[in-house]
Amino acid sequence: MKTLTQAQIAKVTFDHCRAHENVADLSDKQVWVIGYMYAGWVTDHYGAVTNHKLLEVMPEGMAEVMERFDLDREAWLASRP
């Protein structure tokens, strides 16, 4: 089976977040950032993955990535004048 690129993992994550996660208050750009953050998490933990493997592990790690996104966003907002 063919392994997914970071962009493909991010797209699957984007679609998952829009359908299943509470991200209604986030812009598409912010959800894409989460997608790429999750792509990094997946490849750090599982290496190269196929679409089948990604769908098996999809919920795993999502809470960690969402928390990291929130912390990064809060830090960015706090640093603004």
- 33 pLDDT higher than 90: yes
Of the chain, the percentage scoring pLDDT greater than 90 comes to 89
- 62 pLDDT higher than 90: yes
- 43 pLDDT higher than 90: yes
Nearest to 66 by CA among 17, 28, 29: 17
Running DSSP on this structure, what letter comes out for residue 3?
B
Question: Looking at residue 22, what is its pLDDT?
Answer: 84
Residue-averaged pLDDT of the chain: 94
Q: 26 pLDDT band (50/70/90 cuts)?
A: very high
